[in-house]
Structure formats: structure tokens, C-alpha cells
A and B are shown apart, each in its own frame.
Chain A
Amino acid sequence: MIKAAVPVLIGVALAVLVQLAAGPIIGPFAAKLLMDIGINVILAVSLNLVNGFTGQFSIGHAGFMAVGGYTAGCITYYGSFLLFGNTQVQPGWLSHGDLLFLGGCLAGAVVAAIAGIIVGLPSLRLRGDYLAIVTLGFGEILRVMLQRTGDVLGTADEVHKASVGTLATSLGGSLGFSGIPYYTDLFWIYTFVTITLVVALRLKFSSYGRAFLSVRENEIAAEAVGINTTRLKVRAFVLAAAFAGIAGGLFAHEVGTSLNPRELGFQKSFDIVIMVVLGGMGSVSGAVLAAIVLTLLPEALRSFSEFRMPIYALALILMMILRPQGILGLRELWELSWFPKRKTKPTEKAAA
């Protein structure tokens, strides 16, 4: 517990620093990019828990993001009406609005985790490609259901009169949920990025994480040595869903994003899958790297934006043919031998 708390605290301190020092210097555009990077890092690292660690192929990650985002957005938006009478951003650091937003994000994580159980329990008994199609189907079912929700209630009066059920189903329908106050800033994003990274890394280098990897390497062998593979798969799935829910909550409260069922469809899921695959299936730092590069690349390639996706797709195919394990594979950045020596360190050292 203490071992985990120290890096988290350092991370939080760094996040405060980023918010206070870097925020004003780099300007809103770069800050927005940094926030997008952070959200993508959370998404890629969490999907890596499922796709990389346990080797289950889930392509509905944006669905969990949508669950978390809508839950958090709904709580903050309607909660602001009920508590403050309007949806203005409450001033001050850790203001009541900030706390409401934090609560919304955590609630989003919980609801997304429940969604993860609902999808995971029945479908994780299935083999790889069926899971892919079921997660995809889940995303589509969710999209249709979100598109069928009612319009967002716009005035404090309406919100006060409406019942909880009405509020929970007034999510904007196919037009999307607009008007969510912008609470996400660099501090919140990088706090959650830190937590995600610490959880993922500590998981990977623990005996529990080894069990995850054993499921990926050979399910039958893992079962034979007494690992309950179904339980492990569901746990990885639920954990990943919870983090995706947080990422969705952060996304929902970010400046300039729209919470739209179509925006969070399978295109978004594929984007996250590409990050995991390019970075390396099972490498936390690889996923981080890929998330950074693939968030910045579209900005760099702005002038040929129409070629972005064909190039991504080709890169994905070539990667699978030439280097199927991704750029880093299972290794982490610091485990690479930068200067090739005769004696390569076995990875077990990191687990000790």
C-alpha cells in the first residue's frame, strides 16, 4: 500500500506542478493537446490490461468510455443545477464544482465497471474472436440506446421538477450531450494518468500480473496450474472498463469536446486498439508512447489529414507482418538494452 502511495503522491505533486507552472506558459492549444494525450494514455494503458496482459481481444473500449462519460457528465450537469442553480464552472481549486466533477468521474468508473461485468461475464467464456465481436456489439447496442435518450434539460426549473429517472435518461440523444461544465484540467488528467500507470505497472510486475500474462500465453496451461482464467479475465476486463470510464468522465468535461454517441463509436475503439498494438501488446510504457505519438501525429500531419487513416491502417498491417509484438513487445522502455551487451538481463529481475 505504501509502495503504491509514494509514486501516486509524487505523481499528484507533479500534476499540480504541471497545472500551475506549465498550464499558463504553454497556452490553451498546447494544454488541450496535453489533456488529449493524457486521456489517450489512460485509455491505451487500460485497454492494454485486457488486450496486452490477458490477450483477450476487446474492441469495444470506447463503449466503456461512453458509459463513464455520460454518467459523469449527467452527474456534473444536473448536479450543478441542483446544487448551484446553474452550470457555471465553480471558481477556485478543489471547489464544490471540482468535487462534484471528481465524484462524477468516480461514479462513471463504477458504472463502467458494472457495464464491464455485464459484458464480461457472459462473453469472456468465449474464445478470442467471439469476444471481439461481442464487445463490438456491446458498443453498438450502447450507441443505439444513447441515441434514443431524451433532450438535455436546459433550465434549473425543469431540472428541479424532473424525477431522477427523467434526468438519467435525458442525455441529448443523437445530437449529443452539450453544456457540460468544463472542469477537466491538466491537474485532474495527470493525477488519473499517474494512478492508471501505477496500477498497471504494479500489476504487471506482481505475481497477480504474471497470472494475467499466463492467460495470454497459454490459457489451457494456465488453467492446468490452477489459475482461474475466467475470473482473471473478468477482473482485467472490469479494471480496464473502470479506467476507461474515468477517461470518459475526463473527456466529457474537457473544453471543446462533444459527448456524442457517434464520436464514441467503434472508430474511437479502433483508435485505442491501434495505440495498444503499435506500442506493444503488454508494454505499459509502449502504450504511453503510442498514445503520445498517435495524438500528436494528426496535428503534425494536419495538411494531409485525409491520408492519416490510410497511413495508420497500413502501419498497422505492416507492423503485424514485420513486428507482430508491437514496437516494445512485452518489455518496458527502461528494460531495453540501449547499448547491446553480451549479457542481457532477464526480465525476472524487475519482478523481484
Chain B
Amino acid sequence: MTKFLQTLMDGIAVGSLYALIALGYTMVYGILQFINFAHSDIFVLGAWISYTIAVALGYAAATTSPPAWESLLIILAAMATCGAVGFTIERLAYRPLRKAPRLNVLITAIGVSLFLQNVGQLKWFFGTQPQRMPAVLDDRILGSLAGVQIHSVDLIGAATALGLMVVLDWLIFRTRLGRAMRAVSHDIAVASLMGINVDAVISFTFVLGSSLAAAAGFLYAMKYPGLNQPAHATWVLLGLKAFVAAVIGGIGNIRGAMLGGILIGFIELFGAAYLSPHLRDIYVFSILILVLLVRPTGILGKPVAEKV
């Protein structure tokens, strides 16, 4: 029972981070209909920028219990930087291809992903050495519930992720900007006829998605402080799993991405806890193939009519 509850806790903690990344995938897919492969690199970038800022602020890997405002500063700075990177990528790489076939955009996205990974590895940026993220957030055991220890990092992480998701949900379903985003997602051409500045909305989507990924990068680095080089397979894979989450929830569907993220967290951690810890990547991709076979549009997705 303790093991079950512990896994449940971890599943929510990791799953909410997957959900944050998945939101970026699903928003871009919803509007432009392509997989932004570079999104997972934005997430890695977020983690590395958090590390860089934390080190610049004078934290070392050993120090603990800093004031909370500095960690707030770090996460906001990482979100802003990644938002700017996301904006630049869209402006320079994706916008010239707005009318190109989807395959070309997909290849461009892979190119951008490779670019970010390999530039990040250069010695002027983050290098190839693994680093340890300083404990910017206070990680203490808050209490235990039926034998399950509740870590403050897990709690803060999940709460931040859920808070950001609530804000996003409000933004998309309750504001004019959100309505514009949904309109563009529905039909770009018609939306522009209705007086919506499509370019601005798409740019905003990229900024939003990238900053959410950056937040996830920060929170992930808090929970698992070992930072690998930007092109390290495990880190790239994290982003891909988030994409799987978006597909499972129904790509293009905001609430589906949140659901999918949590589901992926559960599948991965329950599989690791109860089946075999070495095969956790297999569970996620097997579920992906299964879902695609049974319900290709995802759990909350609507079937799309093929246009002739």
C-alpha cells in the first residue's frame, strides 16, 4: 500500500511536468499541424538556463534553503528566455514555411532540434559535462501519510505545474486572446479574414508553449538534479514522452494534453515500480502504439475528416 501511494505521488509529480511540456506540443500541433520536435530541446534548455542562473546567483550544489523569491526569479527568467527562443525559432525557421508541405516543416523542426542540441553542447554554452543543479528549492520532508513521505519539491512542483495549467486553461477558454488562438487553430484562413492577426497569435502560442516547457525544465531539474548534456538521449527522450502524452490525450486538445501527461507519468512509474524499472521507456512507446491503433485521435480527440 505504501509503495502504491508513493508511486501515485511520484506519478503525479512527474506526470504534471510531462503535461506542461505536452501543452506546448499540442498547442503548436493544434494550430500549425506539425510536431515541433524542437520543443523537447526547449525543455532541456529551460533546465540548463535555470542551472546557469542559479550558479550565477552564487548557489553551489551543496547549499540549501534559499529564500523563495530567488527560485521564483530563476523560473521566471528561464521562462522568459525560452519564450524568446521559441519566438525566434518560429520567426526564423517556421514562418517562412507556413505554406510549405508538412513534411518539410517536420524536417525543419528536426533541424532546429539538432541545432539547439549541438549548439548547447558547445563549450561557450553548456558544454558536454554533466552538471548538478543546485538545490534552489528547499527540499524537506513535509510529513508522511500512511508511510508515504511527502517531499516539498514534489509538492511545489506539482502545485506550480497545476497552477500554470489552470492559468493556461483560463487564458485559452476565457480570454479574447484565447478565443483568437482557438479560432486560428480551427481555420487559419478564416481566422485571418475575421481580423485576427494570425502571425501574432502563432508567435504568442510559441512563446507560451516554450515558457511552459522551461518551467517544466526547472521543476524537473529540481526533482532530478543531475543535468546531462543537451543532446543526451535520456533528456531528449523526456520531451518525446511528453509528445506521446499529447498524442494519447488527443493532439490539439489542451485538456487532453494535461490528462495524457498525468497518464504517462502513472504508466511509466507504475510500470517501473511493479514490472521492471529498466523497461520504463518501453511502456510509454508501447502505450503510444496501442492508443494509435485503437483510437488514433487520442482519448479526448475528435476524429478529423480527410479533405479530398
Contacts and interface: CB of A to CB of B under 8 A. Distances in A.
Given A133-B243, A310-B118, A310-B119, A320 B111 contact: yes
Nearest to A130: B292
Given A270-B110, A313-B115, A133 B35 contact: yes
Interface in B272-296: 278-279, 281-282, 284-286, 288-289, 292-293, 296
Interface in B146-192: none
A56 to B, nearest CB: 9
Interface string A118-149: 00001101101110111011101100110110
Contact of B240 (A55, A126, A136, A262): A136
A327 to B, nearest CB: 14
A144 B231 CA distance: 18
Nearest to A119: B289
A262 B284 CA distance: 19
Contact of B108 (A141, A262, A267, A320): A320
Interface residues of A, number: 43
Contact of A310 (B93, B100, B122): B122
A134 B289 CA distance: 7
Interface string A229-273: 000000000000000000000000000000000100111001001
A8 B3 CA distance: 62
A312 to B, nearest CB: 7
A316 B288 CA distance: 28
B288 A313 contact: no
Contact of B115 (A220, A266, A317, A324): A317
Given A122-B289, A316-B110, A144 B102 contact: no
A306 interface: yes
Nearest to A216: B103
Contacts of A123: 289, 292
B106 interface: yes
A57 interface: yes
B112 interface: yes
A312 B111 CA distance: 8
Contacts of B119: 310
| Chain B residues touching A, majority SS | helix
Contacts of B244: 133, 137
A136 B233 CA distance: 12
Given A57-B106, A126-B296, A321-B108, A134 B288 contact: yes
A305 to B, nearest CB: 11
A132 B114 contact: no
A133 B240 contact: yes
A122 B106 contact: no
B254 interface: no
Interface in B206-237: 231, 233, 236-237
B115 A310 contact: yes
Contacts of A130: 247, 292, 296
A148 B280 CA distance: 12
A304 to B, nearest CB: 11
Given A133-B35, A148-B278, A313-B115, A273 B110 contact: yes
B110 A306 contact: no
Contacts of B278: 144, 147-148
Contacts of B141: none
Chain A binding site: helix, strand, loop or mixed by DSSP? helix
Interface string A145-163: 1011000000000000000
Contact of B118 (A145, A273, A309): A309
A140 B237 contact: yes
B288 A277 contact: no
A272 to B, nearest CB: 12
Interface in A280-333: 281, 306-307, 309-310, 312-314, 316-317, 320-321, 324
A48 to B, nearest CB: 13
B208 to A, nearest CB: 21
B96 interface: yes
B308 interface: yes
B104 interface: yes
A59 interface: yes
B34 interface: yes
Contacts of A313: 111-115, 118
A140 B122 contact: no
A324 B104 contact: yes
A137 B247 contact: no
A324 B100 contact: yes
A141 B285 contact: yes
Contacts of A267: 231
A138 B240 CA distance: 12
7 contacts: A123-B292, A137-B285, A148-B278, A220-B306, A317-B112, A320-B107, A320-B108
Interface of B: 34-35, 93, 96-97, 100-108, 110-115, 117-119, 121-123, 231, 233, 236-237, 240, 243-244, 247, 278-279, 281-282, 284-286, 288-289, 292-293, 296, 306, 308
Interface of A: 55, 57, 59, 122-123, 125-126, 128-130, 132-134, 136-138, 140-141, 144-145, 147-148, 220, 262, 265-267, 270, 273, 277, 281, 306-307, 309-310, 312-314, 316-317, 320-321, 324
Given A144-B282, A321-B93, 20 more contacts: A122-B293, A123-B289, A128-B103, A132-B106, A133-B288, A137-B244, A141-B282, A148-B278, A148-B279, A309-B121, A313-B113, A313-B118, A316-B107, A316-B108, A316-B111, A316-B114, A320-B107, A320-B108, A320-B111, A324-B97
